[in-house]
Chains A and B, each alone.
Chain A
Amino acid sequence: MKTWIDSILVSKQRIALPIMTHPGIEAIGKTVKEAVSDGQVHYEAIKAVSEQFSMSACTSIMDLTVEAEAFGATINLPDNEVPTVTGRLVSDAASIAALEVPSLDKGRVPAYLLANKLAAANITDKPLFSGCIGPFSLAGRLYDMSEIMVGIYIEPDAINELLAKCTQFLIDYCLALKAAGTQGVVMAEPAAGLLSNEDCQAYSSEYVKQIVGAVQDDNFTVILHNCGNTGHCTEAMVTTGARALHFGNKIDMVQALNDCPADVIVMGNLDPVGVFKQGDPDSVYKQTKTLLEKTAAYANFVISSGCDIPPHAANANIEAFFSAVKNYNEGR
């Protein structure tokens, strides 16, 4: 939504967009497994979070396994933890060549599309951002994360072919999310943060750029999230053309803001675990306030968690976050 993005740039009020759905899952008394498998439950969780807190926008569940599962990877679905990929789906040039780009009826993709469609249709007072994994992180889940790190040097052609397949799928998936009526997608590309700026550019940003080119417009924003970036690959993130960049708690937020153009929305970066989960309302309030004060000069800043807020963060902590934002805005 360029209009929503543009309104952030001109507004004096600080927008708060923590990435969270777990409090919603807990509020409706469902398990993580139910929420990540059933589109209706997933939607109800998003709705519950939206109603309970003063969210400026909603996000769907950050589940980094849906896409890999669609490709055929085996998934482990614990009741109350986020799902995980087990094993390795492709291991060499031949298996990569044989890998098919899956259609959108595979695995839990239909359930995710349903959740996004229901949320977009029924939560009409604020934007909804879908979630997906980034191309390099997806390729790493299929090829093995450590192996792909060396694969980019010793088998670059095969890895590029794998990245192209991942990118094709992500374009299809994002277009379907867009058709479901959401305002954009938070694309999680954590593994790319372990690469140098140059490699992040070649093996992540070039592919993200293709996805941005195919899906982003005034009504659909790509929010590129990279929580592995410690400040060394911000330049590569900027070149993707994503209208919004989202940073993890490993980065100095002010440095990130200085490294990004003023017309790109920059989001981040309170520690989801150290602050939201392990802190108390008092410390959450203080750290939120400190971050808001440090970033006061930047119109393009949106305050957020550095990553998905994990299960069982206390509601009082999340409320403390919102109340710090509210008090800060009243003083602007």
Chain B
Amino acid sequence: MNQELLQKLSECVEFGKINLASPYPPNMKGQPGADEYAKEALDAGAQPSEILDELVTAMGKVGQKFTENKIFVPQMLLSAKAMSAAMMHLKPFFASGAVQRKGTFIIGTVFGDLHDIGKNLVAMMVEGAGWEVIDLGIDVKIEKFVEAVQQHPEAVVGVSALLTTTMVNIKPVIEAVKAASPDTKIIVGGAPLSAEFAVSIGADAYGKTPQDDIVWLDTLIA
């Protein structure tokens, strides 16, 4: 019974079925979505950690399809929304400590830059990989990154930039964050960046895709 519900939940996340009301995907119209199945699974006695594992696996498949250009940005965002809908039901267990997340990930688009589609995808995929994500939004000033790190000293930081004119703004962010909290690890990403650039500005890692980010984050807790 549980297994069947978890299987359904996993399908909803993989194919972007958010909830009963969502008409997408057309072949699942009128059926329950990730929202309903997550609740049902909990009610039926499934362990929150089992549900989390299911979500992580499903999002992994979605990320893989995106990396292989089999799906586009909208499909990936729909899956991420479905994942978030299910995750809502797990929030109380995270708060009580009954389920442990892997850690906290703070992400934002650097100041001067308003591109956020890539940053949003990374945030959702990392959440889907079992991390708590604090999304600072776009055009994030240095002080805001520093403040967030002070509030969450164990957190890992991700910075996104899509413009050549704003990628240079990442360096002062890294300097300020490291000055306030020398042990904080920082990953950077966005289309114009490269691994060499990341090294040159003092970042701990560069991620070309959300998958890279997740793999690197896992090495930090291994």
Contacts and interface: CB of A to CB of B under 8 A. Distances in A.
Interface of A: 81, 84-86, 145-146, 149-150, 152-154, 156, 194-196, 199, 232, 273, 277-278, 310
B24 interface: yes
Most buried by A among B72, B116, B192: B72
B114 A84 contact: yes
B164 interface: yes
A151 to B, nearest CB: 9
A84 B73 CA distance: 22
A153 B114 contact: no
Contact of B164 (A85, A150, A273): A273
A298 B120 CA distance: 40
Interface of B: 16, 18, 22-24, 69, 72-74, 77-78, 81, 112, 114, 116-117, 120, 139, 164-165, 192
Contacts of A277: 164
Contacts of B116: 145-146
Contact of B74 (A84, A85, A152, A273): A152
Contact of B22 (A149, A152, A154, A195): A154
Nearest to A156: B23
Which secondary structure characterizes the binding site on chain A?
helix
Contacts, number: 51
22 contacts: A81-B165, A86-B114, A145-B116, A145-B117, A146-B77, A146-B117, A149-B73, A150-B77, A150-B78, A153-B23, A153-B78, A154-B18, A154-B78, A194-B72, A194-B73, A195-B73, A199-B72, A232-B69, A273-B192, A278-B164, A310-B164, A310-B165
Contacts of B164: 273, 277-278, 310
Contacts of A195: 72-74
Contacts of A156: 23
Contacts of A149: 73-74, 77, 117
Contacts of A150: 74, 77-78, 81
B56 to A, nearest CB: 21
A147 to B, nearest CB: 9
Contacts of B77: 146, 149-150
Contacts of B73: 149, 194-195
A84 B18 CA distance: 32
A74 to B, nearest CB: 12
Given A149-B74, A150-B81, A195-B72, A81 B23 contact: no
Nearest to B117: A146
A199 B73 CA distance: 11
Closest 8 CB pairs of A and B: A153-B24, A149-B74, A194-B73, A273-B164, A196-B72, A150-B77, A146-B120, A154-B22
Given A153-B78, A156-B23, 13 more contacts: A81-B112, A81-B165, A85-B114, A145-B117, A146-B117, A149-B73, A149-B117, A150-B78, A153-B16, A153-B23, A195-B73, A199-B74, A273-B192
A84 B114 CA distance: 8
Contacts of A232: 69
Nearest to B112: A81
Contacts of A196: 72, 74
B67 to A, nearest CB: 14
A195 B74 CA distance: 7
A153 B165 CA distance: 34
Nearest to A152: B74
Contacts of B72: 194-196, 199
B60 to A, nearest CB: 20
A218 to B, nearest CB: 37
A147 B126 CA distance: 19
A194 B117 contact: yes
Contacts of A194: 72-74, 117
A299 B194 CA distance: 37
A289 to B, nearest CB: 24
Given A84-B114, A146-B116, A154 B165 contact: no
Most buried by B among A154, A194, A232: A154
Contact of B24 (A85, A154, A278): A154
Contacts of A84: 114
Nearest to A228: B73
Nearest to A311: B165
A153 B112 contact: no
Contacts of A145: 116-117
Contacts of B78: 150, 153-154
Contacts of B24: 153-154
B195 to A, nearest CB: 17
A268 B77 CA distance: 30
Contacts of B120: 146
A149 B24 CA distance: 13
Nearest to B18: A154
A194 B76 CA distance: 11
Most buried by A among B69, B81, B164: B164
Nearest to A147: B77
Most buried by B among A150, A152, A199: A150
A277 B163 CA distance: 12
